[in-house]
Chain A
Amino acid sequence: MLMADDISYAVGGTPLLSHVSAAFPASRVTGIIGPNGAGKSTLLRIAAGLLAPGAGQVSCMGEGLAGMTLARRARHLAYMPQDMPTLPPMPVREVASLGRLPYGESPAQALHHLAVTQALDKVGLTGLAHRLANQLSGGERARLMLARALAMQTPILLADEPVAALDPAHALAVMGVFAGLAASGRCVVVVLHDLLLATRFCDTLIMMKDGHILHQLAPAHLTDAMVRQTYGVTSRRVDGAFVPWDLCTTDPSDQTR
């Protein structure tokens, strides 16, 4: 559904991505994982059309992203950024309804109303719909940002560290939402740092380091050696299961952890 083909991107002569190619299919949750500075967010922003690649191209449902109008893109791709804006004192429901902007005005229309209601329901904010957005906690704001993206009802959703500010219960719930979207045929691409969530909820993992993709695989095929190569830490299985992870220090002789 979304393809990145031989993407390179540099800032001031420093390469952030080098010849990266990846496929993000429909009905799948694709997780992009890797250490800080690996190029995960840059790849996601290029895939969303927010950055123009120095080389290579992104295609969306067989159509070059660069050739699509912004209005058309907005009906195909929803993007949730890593950084949260300072929210104005607008009601939660109204903030979520901004996701309907690509479909024109008249948010009172039944379709818009339903889309916003469903989005708030999915992230568990229905009860806070009339609260002012600037009075929400960090986790509630993160879920509101996701609701805004879900209200766009696009076939593709790109989310950059959507669970970073969430407690375990809400992180599980949000990842469950992504799995549900994939089950309904959507393409979900999510940048994650939590390997436990990544291996549990993603159908495909893209492991990145230093602007390169090291591995693209199903979580079941992930090995300790791949984690060591990507993050520089060792890991081990517990009770024969791949999860939960037990991440150790880079010194294998250190058995205290």
Chain B
Amino acid sequence: MTRASFKPVPPALLNGGLAVVVALLAVASLLWGESTLDIPAALADWLGGKPSVGAIVLGQLRLPRTVLALMVGGTLGLCGAVLQGYLRNPLADPGLLGVSGGAALGAVCVFYTGLFQLAAPLLPLGGLVGALVAALVLVVLVGRGGPLVLLLAGAALSSFAAALTALVLNLVPSPYAIFEISHWLMGSLTDRTMTDAALALPGVGVGMALMFGTGRALDALTMGEDVATSLGFRLGGASGVQMRVVLGTSIAVGSCVAVSGAIGFVGLVVPHLLRPLAGHRPSRLLLPACLGGAALLLAADLGVRLLASQAELHLGVVTALVGAPVFFHRVILFRKRNML
């Protein structure tokens, strides 16, 4: 008898360990900054509405950044795990559906029209509208089609959104606006407020609830669509697994991109890294991927602050710089394993 050559970590231990890491990184994110804070006092001031320096730094700078890193990172990690499980494709990531592109286009349009100068929340709102329109187009495009149609529709939508974004950039009359747009597209959590977090929260909440509800169906889908259906899971239709996956990922990712800009590689790399530890069962990967995504984005954001120089380093750049080599490593490992 040949036993399994790997040792998946028990779910409670894996999730508990990741939760501790996330909690430590979140505390570090609140503590880490140019000025030293007395956190309890600053928190008391902030909650009491007292406009002390500590309350302002905590409530308007560090807390939104930490909360958004948790929300955005968790969403991207969870979306990656759900999409990779549903499509049974390890290359699937949240950007695949074109909803991120729609959110980016919506925000870029707000820049182009100059609306962002009227009120700060108009920028994420524009992104949110773009994401919701893209999600609607995706749902209509996919219709009763299966995973392959979803992949094709996502690729088409993503390309179209990128083309329209390039068109807007092409037509922008002001170099300053192009500078602003380019920086926004790189993804960042700098200068975000609790209003941004509040704007993203409903979409993230609804999207996560939909995605966490797909776990058992994703397990069944490892045996193929016919077997999953015979096991009692409806794949198509308004209440089917596909609709929950499309809506869940679209709403959550769109809400996040609308406030943070495009942040790549988290949704692709985190599920890859954690899958062996979760035992390759899709349902067991969902919570670890969510926690892992949050931990990675918190760490990357801390890195951004650590590496702060005259030219601000964007979070999306850091996640790509860290994520790509990790992915190269996984590719080399995979190739070696298959050459044995």
- Residue numbers of A with Cβ under 8 A of B are 45, 48-50, 70-71, 73-75, 77-79, 81, 83, 85-91, 94-95, 98-99, 101-102, 105, 127-128, 130-132, 135, 145, 148, 152
Q: Is the CB of B230 within 8 A of A98?
A: no
Complex Cα distance, B124 from A80, in Å, reads: 49
| Given A50-B226, A90-B281, 12 further pairs, Cβ under 8 A | A70-B229, A79-B226, A85-B224, A90-B280, A91-B4, A94-B281, A95-B223, A98-B220, A101-B219, A101-B220, A130-B1, A130-B4
Give, as a whole number of angstroms, the nearest-CB distance from B10 to chain A.
12
The answer to whether the Cβ of B234 comes within 8 Å of any Cβ in the partner chain is yes
Give, as a whole number of angstroms, the nearest-CB distance from A154 to chain B.
9
Give, as a whole number of angstroms, the nearest-CB distance from B334 to chain A.
12
Complex Cα distance, B231 from A49, in Å, reads: 11
Q: Is the CB of A148 within 8 A of B226?
A: no
CB contacts (< 8 Å) of A102 on chain B: these are 231-232
The one of A86, A91, A98, A130 in contact with B231, judged by C-beta atoms closer than 8 angstroms, is A98
The CB with the most chain B CB atoms within 10 A, among A73, A83, A101, A127, is that of A101
Q: Would you list 11 pairs from A and B whose C-beta atoms are within 8 A, ordered by A residue? A: A48-B230, A50-B226, A70-B229, A71-B232, A90-B279, A98-B220, A101-B220, A105-B216, A130-B3, A131-B2, A152-B231
The answer to whether the Cβ of B321 comes within 8 Å of any Cβ in the partner chain is no
Q: Is the CB of A50 within 8 A of B223?
A: no
Total inter-chain residue pairs, C-beta < 8 Å: 81
Q: Is the CB of A81 within 8 A of B227?
A: yes
Complex Cα distance, B220 from A212, in Å, reads: 33
The one of A48, A73, A86, A127 in contact with B1, judged by C-beta atoms closer than 8 angstroms, is A127
The CB with the most chain A CB atoms within 10 A, among B4, B88, B230, B232, is that of B230
Give, as a whole number of angstroms, the nearest-CB distance from A101 to chain B.
5
Complex Cα distance, B217 from A104, in Å, reads: 11
Give, as a whole number of angstroms, the nearest-CB distance from B281 to chain A.
6
CB contacts (< 8 Å) of A95 on chain B: these are 222-223
CB contacts (< 8 Å) of B88 on chain A: these are 86
Interface residues of B in 76-134 (CB under 8 A from A): 88
